[in-house]
Chains A and B, each alone.
Chain A
Amino acid sequence: MKLLTLNFLTCAVKTCKSSSDSFPLHPKDAELASDDVEVNPELLVNLLPRLDWKALKTTSAEVFLPSCIYPLGFPQLPDSPPTIEQLQSDDKLLKDLHSLLMETNLMEGKLVCGVCGHEYAVREGIPNFLLPSHLV
């Protein structure tokens, strides 16, 4: 699962729907893999206004800090989101954002809800969102 997807995913448990802390889900014991994907600037420009920048910073800190990838020059995100114009005129920023959102994949581990504590298992990049009926 791309890190992009984590920026949109919420807890599926019924009682968490109204709580803003059920987003983003927190990766635990995460194993990452990097994929080669062709850069699609128009897509990033389309998505930029929809990204939750704060959540993106949280997620990248949570997945990279415990691993050894982070210190090896992995992109540091700016503190506030760039404007569309900034993204379009800054090649490095575009590439960094692309590699973070589109090329970095969560392969194994868990996604944990900050409210109810439910853990969604991730195997071979596929999160299991099937819920027992009393949580729906």
Chain B
Amino acid sequence: MSRPEDTLLADVHYDDVEARKYTTSSRIQNIQASMTRRALELLDLKTPSLILDVGCGSGLSGEILSDIPPEEGGPHVWIGMDISPSMLDVALQRDVEGDLFLADIGQGVPFRAGTFDAAISISAIQWLCNAESSETSPQQRLARFFGGLYQSLKRGGRAVCQFYPKNDVQKQMITSAAVKAGFGAGMLEDDPDTKNVKVYLVLTAGQSAVANTKSGDITGVVENMEGVDVVDNRRQGRSSGKGEIKKGSKQWIIKKKEQMERKGKVVKTTSKYTGRKRRIAF
């Protein structure tokens, strides 16, 4: 499969002809709609919400958000950002309900802190792995994007980004940029190992009611789902020097126990439960 991301800039690739072709293809319409529904399922929104659609294009993803009936917690209001004037033009002609911005997400997310209940991005962020110009690097652009996304989400808010990584290096590059920005992150793959594989990066911004599971910041949703890899290199990423033992961690407790034992004290035997957080049972 050819990847326009590798050779072209997004606003060049999505010109008038391509934007129209893309939007009128019923095959594409169906795929984008089903991925958006999947993303919404992962967001698990209970009430009408304000949602950011990153790389909204001609509105194929956003219009699903406007169409969620009240029984399912909608309809939602969305704001879309896209770098391609042609795609936005098609969105205007289709009279989508969301507000549209001509903007490059690699330059950041210009909304005040805590604006959005949630964010989605469908088939867009792999474009960030290519520098738009010689003045910036993909790392820099990813950092601006995830940094801006993190602060524009309300605390406990989630973002789900479906994207098409070229390879594991890109997957890793994107995930680690999200984690560095402060997100709890999980990766979900539908139809893994097929040519229809769909990759979803599920992110939580700060604490939420469901986020209190064993890694402390990952969404309960992701963790309990089949086929989900919890990515939590945050802790390793943040701690300074190697071999440092964090106070309260299992390692730390074991070390303390050894010290106590050496002093002749009686200590509980170490088990797989040692150092685990006790959760309140309801």
Contacts and interface: CB of A to CB of B under 8 A. Distances in A.
Q: Do A and B come together as binding partners? A: yes
Interface of A: 1-2, 4-5, 8-12, 23, 37, 40, 42-43, 46-47, 50, 52, 102, 124-131, 133, 136
Interface in B25-77: 47-50, 70, 75-77
Contact of A42 (B48, B101, B133): B48
B81 to A, nearest CB: 8
B88 interface: yes
Contact of B101 (A2, A23, A50, A126): A126
Contacts, number: 80
A133 B102 contact: no
Contacts of B135: 133
Interface in B139-173: 144, 154
A133 B106 CA distance: 11
B99 A10 contact: no
B171 to A, nearest CB: 26
Contact of B110 (A12, A37, A50, A124): A12
Q: Classify chain B: how many residues form its interface, as a range.
A: 20 to 34
Given A5-B79, A124-B92, A47 B110 contact: no
B101 A46 contact: no
A130 B103 contact: yes
A136 B107 contact: yes
A23 B70 CA distance: 33
Contacts of B144: 136
Contacts of A46: 47-50, 117
A133 B47 contact: no
4 closest residue pairs by CB, A with B: A43-B48, A129-B103, A12-B110, A8-B115
B102 A42 contact: no
Interface of B: 47-50, 70, 75-77, 79, 81, 83, 88, 92, 97, 99-104, 107-108, 110-112, 114-115, 117, 133, 135-136, 144, 154
Nearest to B133: A133
Nearest to B148: A12
Contacts of A8: 111-112, 115
Contacts of A131: 104, 107
Contacts of B48: 40, 42-43, 46
A128 to B, nearest CB: 5
Nearest to A46: B47
16 contacts: A5-B79, A8-B112, A8-B115, A12-B110, A37-B97, A40-B48, A40-B77, A43-B50, A46-B117, A124-B92, A125-B99, A127-B102, A130-B102, A130-B103, A133-B133, A133-B135
Contacts of B114: 50
A42 B47 contact: yes
Nearest to B79: A5
B108 A136 contact: yes
Contacts of A2: 99
B83 A130 contact: yes
Nearest to B76: A43
A1 B102 contact: no
Give the one of A46, A47, A125, A126 with max B CB within 10 A: A126
B110 A11 contact: yes
A126 B98 CA distance: 11
Given A2-B99, A50-B115, A133-B135, 5 more contacts: A8-B112, A11-B110, A12-B110, A40-B75, A130-B83
A5 B110 contact: no
A1 B77 CA distance: 12
Contacts of A5: 79, 99
